[in-house]
Amino acid sequence: MSRFKAVIFDLDGVITDTAHYHCLAWKRLAESEGVHFDEAFNEQLKGIDRMGSLNLILAGSSRSYSDEQKLALADAKNRHYQELIATMSAADLLPGAVDALAAVRAAGLRIGLASVSKNAFTVLERLGIRERFDYVVDAALIANSKPHPEIFLTAARELGVDPAHCLGVEDAVAGVASIKSAGMWALGIGSPAVLTQADRVIRALDRFKLEEYQ
């Protein structure tokens, strides 16, 4: 019998790669505020929510910003991002994503999504996989961003599964920390040298083998 009753996936960098679109949108905003933005800076934003990412960027500006100005900038970035993801389709699914979801379903486990992206529902619809998830956390209702465990604990609660019986799948350091803080088993997607808190790390979901994590 499997020790897991549910698998909870992150979205960006695990099932699809919207990181490029986020990068383009943040880069345009940063440069409009006179802040240098490169790939290294973008890596710092992985797993961080919109306002958290904005604050990291604006910390590099010589200006001070009111809460209203910050909200306006965050909205501008999101509008640009939404324009970019409007072109997404099933072709944007990462290798192995559909097979991994199918394997979890075939094993009789529940499937959840725990993404800090407030556009997660839109992205899932564009990818054509919304119906594959039993529960998708609404990031707009989450008070604490990763690495806080709230989003994974919410997913487990709504799936009706004890966190100890959940496997979390993440590609970001903050995300893996969130999984572990929630008391779950963590499967990292990426580099073992980076995702040091994960219980196991694989390159991508095309290496996903549920039977090896039981």
* Residues marked as catalytic: 10, 12
- Looking up tokens 């710092």 gives 44
DSSP-assigned states of every residue in 38-50:
-HHHHHHTTT--H
| Euclidean distance between CA atoms 54 and 105, whole angstroms | 37
DSSP-assigned states of every residue in 44-87:
HTTT--HHHHHHHHHTTSSS---HHHHHHHHHHHHHHHHHHHTT
55 is in an annotated binding site: no
118 is in an annotated binding site: yes
Q: Are 56 and 84 in contact (CB under 8 A)?
A: no
70 is in an annotated binding site: no
46 is in an annotated binding site: yes
50 is in an annotated binding site: yes
45 is in an annotated binding site: yes
131 is in an annotated binding site: no
| Binding site members for substrate | 10-12, 26, 45-50, 53, 77, 115-119, 146
Annotated binding site for Mg(2+): 10, 12, 170-171
The binding site consists of 10-12, 26, 45-50, 53, 77, 115-119, 146, 170-171
